[in-house]
Each structure stands twice: as structure tokens, then as C-alpha cells.
């Protein structure tokens, strides 16, 4: 029957997952069938996707990508691989969105930020001590190369202004608004809605402090505009930004991006 | 049928899904300022189309209009 084994489509006589594992010659390898890791043998069906991963060895380059994506729901990766997503602002939201989209295998990412990594970023942003002083664009690109080397990452180390929005973001399907300042959020959203009418924007508003996680939501507020957050809790003197709520909101944004890339417009 | 058309035609202005009757014709900008919006922090969609900031002064609101206003707070 026709199966995809470690990323290669072929015709196999095997009837069960264990038979494939033995055929591949990895008796102790883990078995992932259609996105789910199985422990017991399972009958195979036409067009199943099965990945056998040996532990403790570096896989061959041509098998690595299929192994990395083996836990995805079948056929999701092919669609995400075609996605082009821009991330405006690489702070608590943007750096974590970028990492999640890279792990998901979104094929092309544009990372935009003007700033350098400094110590107060580390309580919520995806950077390490070794990145202090580096441009956020470069520090994040280096991480992504270690997380998923199979995607294209473009960086622009510059401040986003009303004047350069079209030049910076043209050619991308979706823009994640991930700025810190409310005025910059509004500037980007307004400019994109006005000047890039075919682009969807996934923005954030209200994620500071440590109020209930469950207040953070995704809402579709306009035809091309989604906003994630609690819409209320702004960062201000006396109310800080903490990793959990920032990550929850970044997760909302990243999931909405995946949904849009998979053709789902509902929140 | 005529009656139905008439009632639909005399709808009241909706702002973020809530009915807000407009007592007199006014510009979008005057309406937003009256409702205490900070014009630098918002995006506005009128009847499904985004309104550029530069047009807030000139766009006149009418009953039947559907207005979506989003206001951003900081943090990221």
C-alpha cells in the first residue's frame, strides 16, 4: 500500500506499524503514526504517514525535517510551509510568536525590530544572557536556525514607521503586531488596514500583570483585523509585564496565524 | 414588503454591536472625542471599511451606520 515513511512516499507490503519499524531497521526507534506517538502495534491504512525516529543519534539531513514535523496533524505542514508571516516587534510577544511559528514550520518569516537585547527583556522574551547587546533580529534568527533550519528567515533591523510599512511588509500574507507602545500598535494597524488591503493583521492589546489567564481572548474585530488580549490590562507604572500572560497572548496570536494559514478565518 | 424595507431603512447607528442613536448629524471625529477616545490609539471601521485617520474630520455619521472602534492599550 502507499505510505509516507520518514518523509518519502512509497509502495510498501507492510501491514502494521511495527513491520515498518523493523523494515527501517530501528528496533528501538519511536513510532509516530499520523501525528501521534504509538506504543503498541497498529494496522496501517492507505496514505498513512509514519515516522520512525532512532534515539541518541543525529538523523540524516534528508530525514530530519519530516522527523521534526512528525507530531503535526497530517498535511498541516505542507500548508504552513507555504506561509509567509511578518512579525513587527520582537519583544515579549514577537520573539515568542516567532519561535512558535518556526517550531510549526511556517516557511517564511520576516523579523522586524530596531532594538538591542538588554537585561530587562529576559523576564518574558525569548533571549538568553549570551544575547545581551545583540540586535533582537540577529539573536532571534540565530535561535531559529537551531530550532528549525528548514525555514527562510528575513530580518530588518529598523524602526517601523507610517512611511516604511508598505516597503517593509509587502509580499507577506499575515502581519503580527507585537509592539509594546499603544500608539505604535495603532499606527501599524491603521497603516496596514489602509495601505495593504489584502493582508491580515493579528494584533495584541491587554496582557500586562498577572490577572486571570482566562481573560485573554482572540477576537475578530474587523475584516482583516484580529486582536488577542484582555483589552484592558495595559503596562503602566505599577503594573509590569510577566512571562505567563505575555506567552499566553503570544500563543493566541501564533495559533490565529496558523488557523489563517490553514484557511480558517473564525477565531 | 414595503413596511419591511421601511423599518430596515430607519435603523439606528450601531457602535461595536451596540445601538447608539445619533441625535444629530456629526463628524466621526466629533463623535469619537465626545466618547473620550484618544484618537492616537484607535482604529475605526465604518460600514466594513477602514477609515483613514486623515478622514475622521470629514466623515459624517448617519443613523444606519455601523461603526467598529478598537482602542489599543500598551504592553508587549
For B53, nearest residue in chain A (alpha carbons): A190
Q: Name the band, by pLDDT with cuts 50, 70 and 90, for residue B10.
A: low
Cell of A111: 523579523
Q: In whole angstroms, what is the distance from residue A27 CA to residue A72 CA?
A: 23
pLDDT at B6 over 90: no
Domain assignment of residue B40, yes or no: yes
Res. B8: pLDDT tops 60? no
Contact B75 A178 (CB under 8 A): no
Residue A6: name the closest of A28, A24, A25, A27 by CA: A24
Q: B1 or A244: whose pLDDT is higher?
A: A244
pLDDT at site A26: 86
Dist. CA A100–CA A98, nearest whole Å: 5
Answer yes or no: is B19 within a domain: yes
Determine the structural domain holding residue B43 and report its residue range: 2-71
Residue B5's pLDDT is: 47
In the structure grid, which three cell numbers stand for residue A6, read together? 520518514
**Any domain includes B52:** yes
Mean pLDDT confidence for A89-103: 98
Categorize the per-residue pLDDT at A222 as very low, low, confident or very high, splitting at 50, 70 and 90. very high
Distances (CA, A) of A179 to A1, A75, A222, B11, B14: 50, 32, 19, 38, 30
Burial class (CB in 10 A: 0-12, 13-18, 19+), A266: exposed
For the stretch A133-165, pLDDT in tens is 999 999 999 999 999 999 999 999 999 999 999
Measured distance CA(B35)–CA(B42) in Å, rounded: 12
What is the CATH code for A77-261? 3.40.50.720
**Is B76 within a domain?**
no
| Cα(A181)–Cα(A151) distance, integer angstroms | 30
| Residue B24: predicted pLDDT | 87
Residue B23 lies in a domain: yes
What pLDDT sits at residue A114?
A: 98
On whether any CB of chain A is under 8 Å from the CB of B17, the answer is no
Q: Do B73 and A203 touch (CB under 8 A)?
A: no
**Taking CB atoms and an 8 Å limit, are A207 and B45 in contact across chains?**
no
The answer to whether residue B7 sits within a structural domain is yes
The CATH number assigned to the domain holding B37 equals 3.10.20.30
A179: which chain B residues are within 8 Å (Cβ-Cβ)? 76
Give me the interface pTM, i.e. the ipTM: 0.89
Find out if CATH 3.40.50.150 is the number for domain A2-72.
Answer: no
Mean pLDDT of B30-41: 96
Number of independent structural domains in chain B: 1
Residue A226: pLDDT over 60: yes
Task: Indicate if the pLDDT at residue A174 is higher than 90.
Answer: yes
Task: Indicate whether B25 belongs to any domain.
Answer: yes
Domain regions of chain A by residue span: 2-72, 77-261
Average of per-residue pLDDT across A183-190: 98
Mean pLDDT value of segment A4-9:
95
**Which residue among A193, A206, A241 sits closest to B73, beta carbon to beta carbon?**
A206
Tell whether pTM > 0.90: yes
Residues of B in contact with A232 (CB under 8 A): 73
Does B41 reach chain A within 8 Å, measured CB to CB? yes
Are A134 and A141 a contacting pair, CB within 8 Å?
Answer: no
Cα A109 to Cα B75: distance, rounded to the nearest angstrom: 23
CB < 8 Å to A190, chain B: 43, 50, 52-53
pLDDT (average), residues A225-241: 97
For residues A81 and A19, give the distance between their C-alpha atoms in angstroms, rounded to a whole number. Answer: 30
Amino acid at each position: 500500500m502507499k505510505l509516507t515513511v520518514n518523509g518519502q512516499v512509497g509502495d510498501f507490503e507492510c501491514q502494521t506499524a511495527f513491520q515498518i519499524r523493523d523494515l527501517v531497521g530501528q528496533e528501538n526507534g519511536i513510532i509516530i503514526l499520523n501525528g501521534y506517538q504509538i506504543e503498541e502495534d497498529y494496522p496501517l491504512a492507505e496514505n498513512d504517514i509514519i515516522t520512525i525516529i532512532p534515539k541518541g543519534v543525529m538523523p540524516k539531513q534528508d530525514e530530519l525535517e519530516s522527523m521534526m514535523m512528525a507530531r503535526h496533524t497530517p498535511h498541516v505542514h505542507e500548508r504552513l510551509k507555504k506561509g509567509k508571516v511578518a512579525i513587527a516587534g520582537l519583544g515579549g510577544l514577537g520573539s515568542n510568536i516567532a519561535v512558535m511559528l518556526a517550531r510549526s514550520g511556517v516557511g517564511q518569516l520576516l523579523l522586524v525590530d530596531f532594538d538591542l537585547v538588554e537585561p530587562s527583556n529576559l523576564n518574558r522574551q525569548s533571549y538568553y544572557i549570551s544575547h545581551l547587546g545583540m540586535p533582537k533580529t540577529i539573536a532571534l534568527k540565530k535561535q531559529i536556525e537551531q530550532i528549525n533550519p528548514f525555514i527562510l528567515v528575513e530580518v530588518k533591523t529598523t524602526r517601523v514607521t507610517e512611511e516604511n510599512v508598505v516597503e517593509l511588509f509587502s509580499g507577506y500574507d499575515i502581519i503580527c503586531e507585537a509592539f509594546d507602545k499603544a500608539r505604535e500598535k495603532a499606527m501599524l494597524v491603521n497603516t496596514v488596514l489602509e495601505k495593504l488591503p489584502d493582508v491580515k493583521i493579528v494584533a495584541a492589546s491587554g496582557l500586562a500583570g498577572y490577572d486571570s489567564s482566562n481573560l485573554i481572548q482572540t477576537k475578530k474585530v474587523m475584516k482583516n483585523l484580529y486582536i488577542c488580549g484582555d483589552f484592558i490590562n495595559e503596562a503602566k507604572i505599577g503594573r509590569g509585564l510577566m512571562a505567563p500572560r505575555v506567552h499566553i497572548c503570544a500563543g493566541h496570536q501564533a495559533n490565529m496565524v496558523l488557523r489563517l494559514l490553514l484557511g480558517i478565518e473564525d477565531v | 414588503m414595503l413596511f419591511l424595507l421601511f423599518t430596515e431603512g430607519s435603523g439606528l447607528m450601531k457602535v461595536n454591536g451596540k445601538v447608539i442613536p445619533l441625535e444629530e448629524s456629526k463628524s466621526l471625529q466629533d463623535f469619537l472625542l465626545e466618547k473620550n477616545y484618544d484618537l492616537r490609539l484607535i482604529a475605526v471601521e465604518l460600514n466594513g471599511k477602514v477609515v483613514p485617520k486623515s478622514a475622521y474630520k470629514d466623515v459624517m455619521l448617519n443613523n444606519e451606520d455601523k461603526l467598529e472602534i478598537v482602542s489599543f492599550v500598551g504592553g508587549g
